[in-house]
Chains A and B, each alone.
Chain A
Amino acid sequence: MEVVEEPVDLGQISAAVHHGCMGLPQELIDHTMDMLHDDLRALKACSLTCKAMFASTRHLIHYTLRLTRRNNQNVLTWQERYRYLRWDYHDIELRFLSFMGERGFLQYPRHVYIHHDCLFTPDTLIPHLSHFQSLDRIHSLTIDTYDGHIWRNYHSACFAHFYPTLTSLTLHRPISHYRYILAFALQFPNLQNLCIKHLEDGEHPPPYTVIPPIVDESPPLRGHLRLVGVGADEWPTEFANLPNGINFRSVEFQGVFWEHCQSILTACAGTLEDLIIVPRRQCTRSIHCIHWLWGDN
């Protein structure tokens, strides 16, 4: 006798109202699953136990959309993998995005994480732009190795759908001039929390290139600022003197030079309630500073 497997509509299970499992009310199951929110393996195991747990874990499992090369490789067809070998992969670099969109998973993420090993350029995103634009509930965006120069003309075209909801932005090892980086961050009108890690001076722009000043049309940032290993010299001063100002309540400095951050602390003097310091281990410039204060020079 031939057994015919009927496909299970997981969306229907997820959308249905459940009344708990094993005698536990649904509220208790939801609360338990919330406590496991950062343990993906446990969430996946729970989601296989019953319909009630499946429903309460689904949005947590898909909370973060990870656009990484590893995830992308997992969904490629053999033909697409051969294209990788021929270095012809620009339109399939973010194939995972379309893969998730075609299966209706893009309604769940609240956080998008774009990893540095994934080539994130307009060329790679535009073939999948319709799926990217369906991410309309994103609160938090993390991009590794964001290239501000390449993206400078695509802000509203590619990120406008994040404007209503995005409140947190993390840029890890962004490259290019700091004005491009800040222009990208300040395009989000509801941004509250900003984290910039390891911003270096980057390549100098070509001669005679005029980099426009930062335009700040949004309300002052008033959440949490985290600066990690920021080496560029002048940008904290320009950041602190934005036309609309900055009103962060919480600031974390990790491995940054105090003289660069003084302007930020001054700008936030009326609002800063919480300061977190993670000292550098080695820094020769501060020794020079101490010597200067003591008059050793």
Chain B
Amino acid sequence: MYAFHPLHPLAMGRQLTDLHLTGDTQFLYFIYGGNKVLRRLTFRLAFPHMSVLPFKLALGALSTIRSPDFCEFVLELGKVPSQFIQPASEHWGYWGNVDRFFEERWTKREDFKLIIRTGKLYDRETFEAHARETFPLSTRRGLIRFETSYSIERHWR
């Protein structure tokens, strides 16, 4: 039987049946403790799809990592809108849970980083403010790093 972290979706029990499950959940289990050298985990997502499910997917994957070298979680976000009218929670959903998980698991490591990588942004200021609002604990510890990569939009084209 699988041993899940308390924040793991399956540990939350049948309440998940009320949520929309898509294929994203397939990745929840496969990065198990066998790997001891994983350093970086990257999620490449379309920003408009960052609803409730990718957060659970990321949390599930992160909860299975046992590598002592793990020090980078990268969010590569494509299709970022040109303006953000809605509040941060509307765009980022429940990604704050991932922030709490970082705090619990990895922030004691000095070299741990949360990298948010995007293409060219028209409203970078609001985007970064929303990200900091979503990840307040990581922001307080100075773990967030914003990067720009022009190849990201090519992927989503």
Do the two chains belong together in a single complex? yes
Q: Bin chain B's interface residue count.
A: 20 to 34
Q: Which residues of B contact A262 (CB under 8 A)?
A: 30
Which listed residue (A254, A274, A286) contacts B25, Cβ 8 A?
A286
Known contacts A266-B34, A279-B57; is-contact A274 B39 (Cβ 8 Å)? yes
Task: Give residues 12-29 of B contacting A (CB, 8 Å).
Answer: 14, 17, 21-29
For the residues of B in contact with A, the DSSP-based class is mixed
CB-based contact A258/B26 at 8 Å:
yes
State whether A257 touches B44 (Cβ < 8 A): no
- How far does the alpha carbon of A255 sit from the alpha carbon of B42 in the complex, in Å? 14
Are A265 and B23 CB-contacts (below 8 A) given A274-B40, A277-B44, A279-B45? Answer: no
Residues of chain B within 8 A (CB-CB) of A294 are 10, 14, 17
- Verify if A211 is at the interface (C-beta below 8 Å from B): no
Q: Are B38 and A279 in contact, with the CB atoms below 8 A?
A: no
Are A278's CB and B40's CB within 8 A? no
Residues of B within 8 A of A259 (CB): 26, 30
A261 CA / B32 CA spacing, docked (Å): 12
Let me know if A269 and B39 touch, CB within 8 A.
no
Contacts of A269 on B, CB cut-off 8 Å?
34-37
A273 close to B23 (CB less than 8 A): no
Query: Are the CB atoms of B27 and A293 closer together than 8 Å?
Result: no
Whether the pair B29, A258 counts as a contact (CB closer than 8 A) is yes
Q: A258-B30, A271-B37 are in contact. List 12 more A-B contacts (CB 8 A).
A: A268-B35, A269-B35, A273-B69, A274-B42, A277-B41, A277-B43, A277-B57, A279-B57, A280-B23, A281-B24, A294-B10, A294-B17
- Which chain A residues have a beta carbon within 8 Å of chain B's beta carbons? 253-255, 257-259, 261-262, 265-266, 268-287, 289-290, 293-294
* B positions within 8 Å CB-CB of A: 2, 10, 14, 17, 21-31, 34-45, 49, 54, 57, 61, 69
Q: List 20 A-B contacts (CB under 8 A).
A: A254-B44, A262-B30, A269-B36, A270-B37, A272-B35, A273-B38, A275-B31, A277-B43, A277-B44, A277-B57, A279-B45, A280-B22, A280-B26, A281-B22, A283-B24, A286-B21, A286-B22, A287-B23, A294-B14, A294-B17
